[in-house]
Chains A and B, each alone.
Chain A
Amino acid sequence: MKRKKKMITTNPRPQAGGFFLAKRPLALAQKASKDLLGLKETSRERIVEILQISQNYKERLQSQQKKGDELRGKTLMNLFFEPSTRTRVSFELAAKNLSAELMNMSPATSSLSKGESLKDMIANLEAMNPHIMVVRHAVSGVPGFIARNTRAAVINAGDGSHEHPTQGLLDLFTVKEKLGEIKGLHLVIVGDIAYSRVARSNIYGFTKLGAKITVVGPATLIPPGLDQLGVKVGHDLDQCLPHADVVMLLRIQKERQETLNFPSLTEYSRFFGLTKERRARMNPKAIIMHPGPINRGIEIDPDVADNIGAEQGPQSVILNQVHNGTAVRMAVLALYGANS
């Protein structure tokens, strides 16, 4: 019944010739993986394929015949261990448009101290033969953990500070739609890079499609090792802005950031908020993105968010992102749900 997937392949022998090299665990081969856990493991070709299918669905959604039978007879479980409105509803809508049987669950976050373990819970859900599980969880890695314990296709809807692949895909889709081509674009991601799963998915996605990426934020929110991912790190937003084709603002998680990683929201806003003045210094053709929910007046000026005074550009595409989310998630569900 249960598929056991080995997480790590190791070569126990020291490598010949070298000075006792540590073995690098080989990344799990992910040819046509049953799950979408992150864009790091998703090939460039697969990403391009998803974006193409998304385009088809977007066109279908604009037509009379919105609904299709792609997932008729298949059960989709929306497992949102962490609260979410936008993403959950977006998946729900996508599932309904594909005629899936939908179940929404918001289980209390599992822990050993609270009775049933996550593994047992998944074993129970597995016994009901779901075809797709859409998982959001506050702990990095949980969708992968679930994927190893179910035959269902697992779609990561955001895990801790790890990845949010469908957000990355819909961001790619939106940028492609607005600017034509990803390759050669300069993406500037602003804010909390350390804790952001959106930042990670976008770093992998945009890098794979040939964009240049600079991240800017308080030094306390820039994690180590980004240079090894091909990402440039800046600390002066004003310096980066004029060269950006896409400025992506990240949500400041007020509840956990304040006093820990920077002195105050006022100070954050002063150095990293996208004000009208800063917008005026951007390339007029550039676009402004935000995964939401936005903190008005902190990472983004309300007028910038609402495109007030943006007739000459640059435009905020925040609501386009949300809009495109449905088509992109339909593509993901149809693709990964097809064989589940």
Chain B
Amino acid sequence: MNLLIKNGRLLDPATGQDGLFDLLCAKGKIAQVAPKGKIKSEGATVIDATGCVLTPGFIDMHTHLREPGFEHKETIETGTQSAAAGGFTSIVCMANTNPVNDNAVITEFIVRKAKEKGIVNVFPIGAISRGLEGKSLADIGQMTEAGIVGISDDGHTVMNSALMRKALQYAKGFNLLVVSHAEDENLSGHGSINEGLVATELGLPGSPNAAEEIIVARDILLAELTGAKLHIAHLSTRVGLELVAAAKKRGVTVTCEVTPHHFTLTDEAVRGYNTQAKMRPPLRSEEDRLALCRGLKDGIIDVIATDHAPHASFEKEVEFTEAANGIVGLETALSLGLRLVQAKVISLARLIELLSCNPARILGLKEKGRIAVGADADLTLFDPEKKRKLEPRMLHSKSHNTPFNDWELTGTIQYTIVGGNVVYQP
């Protein structure tokens, strides 16, 4: 069935289109793009997009789907439903499942399960090291054959610099992206809160910015040494950002992402021992947060990624030090990004670049992240003005761990379209 989306504002930074265009999907691809009213709708299902913005489908470079092993938190089925509800047509899932995705069998399982149960595209990331133990390389080549788009020990840092160097070298041979979770684990201790006044007042062990920046600097140097493609996950500090900016200037092949929570919240959110604000890297200071906003504005930051980290309520409603790290993020990312647009920090076009075009480019997904005839018909249609008050029961994720409960969020997904099929509408 062909799908015609008409009367909307088509916005695609990748091709520079911004205006009232209609779009026709056929056979999973974008078949035609033409000024409003110029496409004949015979036989096509019509979506009236009046007042809405039509963009290339969002791509999340950083999610945790928890399957296999932690199905009580999330499954590939519920995780992709959550993604669709957030406007994401493709997601990249991290390797810290149980068993760890460090071999082709697990990669194949994820790919197959995603085909059967997933409603958006799922691209797995394989582990850097076997068992995420930081000791020896995982089956990187075989996992590449099975479908991984990159490698990462996310959740852990490969603390052994020699092994990290080997991983970068080896990955380069497969033209594979290496995603770095940057945290010097000796220096960060058990800290899931930023070192500073709030941690001092709460009497919790803090993790200093330097714990992150040391590894950002190290991995940049190793990327420079090896020529591999490095992507820094969930960057959270001002100096880390400066390190990336300087590296880019030198021509190092490095990109980076920030999460919506790191550009929205600070460590003040942890007050009251709020475990919904417990994450790694921790929420930082206002100075860092503002630096991230500037980085989004001036182009140093390439990607907004959610670090969607579902946890069951019984894993969060515990003693602060026992609580699991992370929050769900797929269904709040657009609205939190739109806050930056409303505050005139970035333009709407820039937001779409961060959510779609740049992730596609970094991951090498050539037919995604842009609206052009022949490209995949992965599209997101949202109402940028429509407001909603966030309540846990609204979320499609299996888990509801979010610090944004009761927030009034602007921007609502109207349609999520994957391969020309509507996979979500409210």
Residues of A in contact with B (beta carbons under 8 Å apart)? 7-8, 10, 12-14, 19-20, 22, 24-25, 27-28, 40, 110-112, 117-119, 137, 139-142, 144-145, 159-163, 194-195, 197, 200, 223-226, 228-229
- Cβ–Cβ contact A119 & B321, under 8 A: no
Q: Cα distance A163–B268 when bound, in Å?
A: 18
Q: Are A161 and B406 in contact, CB atoms less than 8 angstroms apart?
A: no
- Which residue of B274, B290, B319, B343 contacts A7 across the interface (Cβ within 8 Å)? B274
> Residue of A at shortest CB range from B389?
A12
Tell me which residues across on chain A come within 8 A of B290, comparing CB atoms.
19
B 264-287 to A, binary, CB cutoff 8 A, 1 in contact else 0? 111011011110000000000010
Specify which of A22, A119, A159, A195 is in contact with B264 (CB 8 Å cutoff): A22
Q: Give Cα A27 to B201, complex, Å.
A: 13
Docked-complex contact A140 and B203, CB < 8 angstroms: yes
Cβ contact within 8 Å between A141 and B271: no
A161 to B264, CA, bound (A): 28
Cβ proximity bits B310-328 to A, threshold 8 Å, 1 near / 0 not:
0000110111111000000
Q: CA A112 – CA B318 in complex, angstroms?
A: 8
Given contacts A14-B342, A144-B273, contact A228 B197 (CB under 8 A): yes
Please give the distance in Å from A205's CB to the nearest CB on chain B: 14
10 A-B residue pairs with CB within 8 Å: A12-B404, A19-B343, A20-B340, A110-B318, A111-B319, A119-B317, A139-B319, A224-B196, A228-B197, A229-B201
A111 to B203, CA, bound (A): 19
Q: Assess whether B368 is interfacial by the CB under 8 Å rule.
A: no
Q: A14-B342, A19-B290 are in contact. Are A25 and B196 (CB under 8 A)?
A: no
Cβ–Cβ contact A8 & B269, under 8 A = yes
* Complex Cα gap A40–B272 (Å): 12
The one of B272, B314, B315, B408 in contact with A12, judged by C-beta atoms closer than 8 angstroms, is B408
**Complex contacts, B271 vs chain A, CB 8 Å:** 8, 25, 27
Q: Which residues on B sit within 8 Å (CB–CB) of A226?
A: 200
Which residue in B274, B320, B340 is a CB contact (below 8 Å) of A140? B320
- Count of chain B residues with a beta carbon within 8 Å of a chain A beta carbon: 43
CB–CB B273/A14 < 8 A: no
Partner of A161, one of B195, B203, B293: B203
CB-CB contacts below 8 Å: B37-75 with A: none
**Are A142 and B269 closer than 8 Å at their CB atoms?**
no
Is B400 an interface residue when CB atoms closer than 8 A count as contact?
no
The DSSP consensus for interface residues of chain A is: loop
B339: which A residues are within 8 A, CB to CB? Answer: 14, 20
Add 13 more A-B contacts to A117-B317, A139-B321, A161-B204 (CB < 8 A). Answer: A14-B343, A19-B290, A19-B345, A22-B264, A22-B289, A25-B274, A110-B319, A119-B314, A119-B317, A141-B204, A161-B203, A194-B200, A223-B206
A142 touches B319 (CB 8 A): yes
The 4 lowest CB-CB distance pairs between A and B, nearest first, are A225-B197, A161-B203, A141-B273, A162-B203
Q: Which of B197, B201, B271, B320 neighbours the largest number of chain A CB atoms within 10 Å of its CB?
A: B201
Chain A residue at smallest Cβ distance from B407: A12
Instruction: Verify if B127 is at the interface (C-beta below 8 Å from A).
Output: no
- A41 CB, min distance to chain B CBs, angstroms: 10
Q: How far is the CA of A28 from the CA of B271 in the complex (A)?
A: 10
| Docked pose: A8 CA to B266 CA in angstroms | 13
Partner of B319, one of A22, A141, A161, A225: A141
- Pairwise interchain contact A40-B201, C-beta atoms closer than 8 A: yes
Q: Given A10-B407, A19-B343, A225-B196, do A112 and B315 touch, yes or no (CB 8 Å)? A: yes
Q: Tell me, in angstroms, the Cα distance from A12 to B320 when the chains sit together.
A: 24
Residues A12 and B321 in contact, CB atoms below 8 Å apart: no
Cβ–Cβ < 8 Å partners of B198 in chain A: 225
User: How many Å from the CB of B338 to the closest CB on chain A?
Assistant: 11
Measured CB to CB, the nearest residue on chain A to B342 is A14
Whether, in the assembled complex, B394 has its beta carbon less than 8 Å from a beta carbon of chain A, the answer is: no
- Cβ of B314 and Cβ of A117 under 8 Å apart? yes
B288 CB to closest chain A CB (Å) equals 10
What residues on A are CB-neighbors of B315 within 8 Å? Answer: 112
Which residue in chain A gives the minimum CB-CB distance to B340?
A20
Closest chain A residue to B315 by CB distance? A112
